[in-house]
């Protein structure tokens, strides 16, 4: 058979002279009739569909019908080449030989079936008894001793329960228990708990409660009579970084997919009937509620585009080349899904740690935006105290302060407290009484986890020459940046050099040259006569020109040998005319200044509208020029 199939695919002409086209058509029709007798009309159609031969069977071209015969007889959907009219007689002869083998095989099978029937008639009583036993077995179901034992083992496993994880046990149960996010909560409720809820994107650093607030906001919205959310409105949560899909739409857990009958996993009854089965996705499970996608910025851009289409239509559609609307065997629910789609009317809440500029503009245009604030040290301490109350443990006074020094994430703070709780339990060796977490327990956890303090640079009340604090921001977390400057007379007058750590970035390096020009005009000092060294401590990459003002102040301190206050931080871009230009991330930078213990922050006047409504614990000074800024950071000459 393999040799004949290979010959047929290779196609060689047989005989000479022009073939009779009418005769060839009759032969092809006769061969289809034989196939119909062998398989039956319905099974032949199903087989042709699986082998992609239906269209070829109905083609008016004789060569296409011959290709359909080849696919059906050799059971090979890869046959593509249509024979020429001169080649058709030879191909038909080979098909006839193969079909003759198939018919002979079927006749042998029919003969065997006839003999089996005769033997069954002769042993009717024995077979009737066996049939009765079979009926009894079927009535008892598919279970047997082995399967029942497996079920008992599963039920025994279900009865075993460990306690909740620390995050589950200590997670806030009400919105008022969420620490440090009052503004974000109000903003989210204003967009969700209304008769016309909006899709929302939540921005903020990790571990500040974005997922928890979204879940609790839906619970609050359910209780209000004027919102469209029913009491059982679902909250479906998924991580956008794990959403993978097949471009052929074979699998798509987010939107749903179709199991065609030729693929594994389709139901047996559907596969045998050639019926495709739609599988509903998360967008339909979230119908009437909230679909929460964490790390939504990590989703595939094409999948985001498909999701936006669902948001507009409030339905998800299904397609399959195997769906036949005229097939009477298609179940009603399958027919409805293909013809009307599935409902997907939900509110999308996406969360991300990325900056807004990194999120798809089309997604942002359809969503409101809410920003979560970083947690301050006092916020972390409150979270630790709340978690200790839920654990029913007492704390040494320094434990909350210690945890706050090593993390700014609420989730991490709870985990550290849970680790220290375990240390305290182990130390007690099961003795009764209330557990107390000591400072030593917490220090042991810190040492074992090899943690480093979150804020390495701290404010000081002792002024220093040539050292100034700037401000930076990364992923919604602000921090202070130490800038040092040293100035020495050049070996040759007018041939001074400028050194700068290149790892800080080209924009920060440009700020050094801008500062040199500004100081030459302000101080009347030609820095070409000096060797200048500017260092960003730690060598971290500074994205943007916002260190310009800090670099200028550090150089001014070094050139004049005037000490600079170490509890003042500066941010702003400096132009060569000495103007201080606006920069981004002002709320986050103020947060970083508070974390480092700064008392004063110098900010560009252009950022006046970016200041938060409340700036507790910080004096914020707005400046327009370098001349205005320097007196706030340099110690007056009389106090040297």
Q: Looking at residues 326-331, what average pLDDT do you find?
A: 86
Q: Which CATH class is domain 464-639?
A: alpha beta
Q: With a cut of 90, say whether residue 199 has pLDDT above it.
A: yes
Comparing 37 with 381, which gets the higher pLDDT?
381
d(CA 57, CA 33): 12
pLDDT tier for residue 217 given thresholds of 50, 70 and 90:
very high
- Beta bridge partners of residue 369, listed in sequence order: 201
DSSP 8-state code for residue 603: E
Residue 166's pLDDT band (cuts 50, 70, 90): low
Comma-separated ranges of CATH 1.10.8.60 domains in the chain: 379-449
The predicted pLDDT at position 14 comes to 44
352, two tokens: 């991300």
11/579: higher pLDDT: 579
* Average pLDDT of the segment spanning 419-436: 80
pLDDT tier at 538 (50, 70, 90 boundaries)?
A: low
CATH 1.10.8.60 fits 379-449, yes or no: yes
The residues of the chain that CATH labels 3.30.230.10 are 464-639
Instruction: Note the pLDDT of residue 2.
Output: 39
pLDDT given at position 192 = 94
Mean pLDDT of the 410-422 span: 89
Q: Can you give the pLDDT at residue 543?
A: 57
The per-residue pLDDT of the chain, averaged, comes to: 83
Residue 10 has pLDDT above 60, yes or no: no
Q: Is the CATH number of domain 181-371 3.40.309.10? A: no
Residue ranges of the chain assigned to CATH 3.40.50.300: 181-371
Task: Give 104 or 539, the one with higher predicted confidence.
Answer: 104
Question: What value, to the nearest 5°, has the Cα angle with vertex 469 and ends 464 and 471?
Answer: 175
Which of 214-228, 343-357, 606-620 shows the lowest per-residue confidence on average (mean pLDDT)?
606-620
Q: Which 8-state DSSP code applies to residue 625?
A: B
Q: What are phi and psi of 530, to 5 degrees?
A: -130, 155
Average pLDDT over residues 328-341: 89
Choice among 60-64, 214-218, 403-407, 504-508 with the minimum mean pLDDT: 504-508
- Give percent of the chain above pLDDT 70: 87
pLDDT at position 107 over 90: no
Cβ–Cβ contacts within 10 Å for residue 40, how many?
Answer: 12
Question: pLDDT tens digit string along 597-636?
Answer: 899 999 999 999 988 877 777 899 999 999 999 999 999 8
pLDDT over 50 (residue 4): no
Residue 589 annotated as catalytic: yes
Average pLDDT for 173-177 = 88
Question: Residue range 522-529: average pLDDT?
Answer: 83
Which of left, alpha, beta for 299 (phi over 0: left; psi -120 to 50: alpha)? beta
Cα separations in angstroms, 418 against 392, 393, 430: 12, 11, 17
Q: Which residue has the higher pLDDT, 407 or 37?
A: 407
**Is the Cβ–Cβ distance between 377 and 321 less than 8 Å?**
no
Q: Compute the average pLDDT of residues 58-70.
A: 83
| Arithmetic mean of pLDDT, 55-69 | 83
Q: Is the pLDDT of residue 329 over 90?
A: no
CB 199 within 8 A of CB 348: yes
pLDDT tens across 570-596, in order? Answer: 999 999 898 999 998 888 888 888 888
Looking at residue 640, its pLDDT comes to 43
> What is the per-residue pLDDT across 273-321, written as a single tens digit (0 to 9) for each?
778 888 899 999 999 999 999 999 999 888 999 999 999 999 999 888 8
Q: What percent of the chain has pLDDT over 90?
A: 28
Q: Is the dihedral of CA 437, 441, 446, 449 positive or negative?
A: negative
- How many CB atoms are located within 10 Å of the residue 239 CB? 14
| pLDDT of 81 | 83
Rounded CA gap, 627 and 475, in Å?
A: 32
Instruction: State the pTM of this model.
Output: 0.67
Q: Which of 210, 412, 467, 589 is catalytic?
A: 589
pLDDT at 320: 85
Selecting among 266, 376, 546, 557, the annotated active-site residue is 546
pLDDT at residue 15, rounded to an integer:
45
Nearest residue to 379 via CA among 619, 599, 595, 600: 595
User: What does the pLDDT average to over 520-536?
Assistant: 85
Residue 344: φ, ψ to 5° = -150, 60
How many residues in the chain?
640
Tokens of 634: 């340099």
């Amino acid at each position: 058979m393999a040799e004949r199939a290979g010959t047929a695919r290779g196609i060689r002409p047989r005989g000479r002279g022009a073939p009779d086209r009418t005769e060839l058509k009759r032969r092809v029709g006769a061969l289809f009739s034989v196939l119909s007798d062998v398989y039956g009309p319905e099974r032949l159609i199903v087989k042709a569909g699986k082998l992609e031969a239906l269209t070829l069977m109905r083609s008016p071209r004789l060569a296409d019908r011959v290709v359909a015969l080849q696919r059906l007889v050799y059971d090979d959907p890869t046959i593509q080449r249509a024979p020429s009219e001169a080649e058709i007689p030879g191909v038909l002869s080979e098909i006839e030989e193969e079909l003759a083998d198939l018919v002979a095989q079927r006749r042998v099978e029919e003969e065997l079936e006839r003999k089996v029937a005769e033997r069954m008639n002769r042993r009717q009583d024995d077979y009737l008894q066996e049939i009765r036993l079979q009926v009894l077995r079927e009535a008892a179901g598919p279970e047997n001793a082995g399967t029942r034992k497996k079920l008992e083992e599963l039920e025994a496993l279900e009865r075993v329960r460990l306690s909740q994880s620390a995050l589950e046990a200590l997670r806030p149960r009400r919105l008022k228990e969420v620490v440090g996010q009052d503004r974000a909560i109000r903003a989210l409720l204003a967009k969700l708990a209304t008769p016309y809820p909006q899709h929302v994107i939540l921005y903020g650093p990790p571990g500040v409660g974005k997922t928890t607030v979204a879940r609790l906001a839906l619970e609050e919205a359910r209780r209000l009579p004027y919102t469209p959310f029913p009491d059982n409105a679902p909250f479906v949560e998924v991580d956008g970084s794990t959403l993978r899909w097949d471009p052929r739409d074979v699998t798509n857990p987010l939107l749903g997919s179709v199991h065609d009958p030729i693929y594994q996993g389709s139901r047996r009854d559907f596969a045998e009937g050639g019926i495709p089965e739609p599988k509903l996705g998360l967008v339909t499970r979230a119908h009437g509620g909230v679909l929460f996608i964490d790390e939504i910025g990590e989703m595939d851009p094409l999948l985001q585009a498909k999701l936006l289409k669902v948001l507009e239509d409030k339905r998800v559609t299904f397609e399959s080349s195997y769906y036949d609307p005229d097939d009477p065997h298609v179940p009603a629910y399958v027919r409805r899904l293909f013809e009307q789609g599935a409902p997907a009317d939900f509110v999308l809440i996406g969360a991300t740690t990325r900056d807004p500029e990194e999120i798809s503009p089309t997604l942002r245009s359809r969503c409101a935006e809410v920003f979560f604030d970083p947690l301050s040290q006092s916020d972390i301490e409150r979270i630790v105290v709340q978690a200790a109350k839920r654990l029913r443990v007492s704390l040494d006074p320094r434990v909350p302060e210690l945890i706050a020094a090593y993390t700014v994430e609420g989730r991490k703070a709870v985990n550290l407290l849970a680790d220290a709780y375990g240390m305290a339990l182990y130390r007690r060796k099961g003795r009764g009484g209330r557990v107390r977490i000591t400072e030593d327990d917490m220090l042991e956890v810190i040492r074992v986890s090899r943690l480093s303090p979150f804020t390495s640079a701290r404010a000081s009340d002792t002024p220093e020459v040539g050292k100034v604090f700037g401000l930076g921001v990364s992923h919604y977390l602000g921090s202070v940046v130490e800038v040092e400057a040293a100035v020495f007379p050049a070996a040759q007058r007018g041939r001074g050099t400028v050194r700068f750590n290149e790892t800080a970035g080209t924009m920060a390096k440009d700020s050094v040259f801008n500062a040199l020009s500004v100081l030459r005009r302000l101080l009347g000092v030609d820095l070409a006569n000096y060797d200048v060294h500017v260092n960003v401590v730690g060598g971290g990459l500074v994205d943007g020109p916002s260190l310009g003002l800090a670099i200028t102040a550090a150089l001014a301190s070094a050139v004049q040998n005037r000490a600079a206050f170490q509890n003042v931080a500066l941010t702003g871009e400096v132009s060569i005319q000495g103007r201080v230009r606006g920069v981004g991330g002002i709320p986050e930078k103020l947060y970083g200044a508070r974390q480092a213990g700064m008392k004063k922050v110098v900010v560009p006047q252009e950022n006046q509208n970016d200041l938060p409504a409340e700036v507790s614990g910080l004096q914020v000074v707005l400046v327009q020029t370098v001349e205005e800024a320097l007196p706030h950071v340099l110690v007056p000459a009389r106090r040297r």
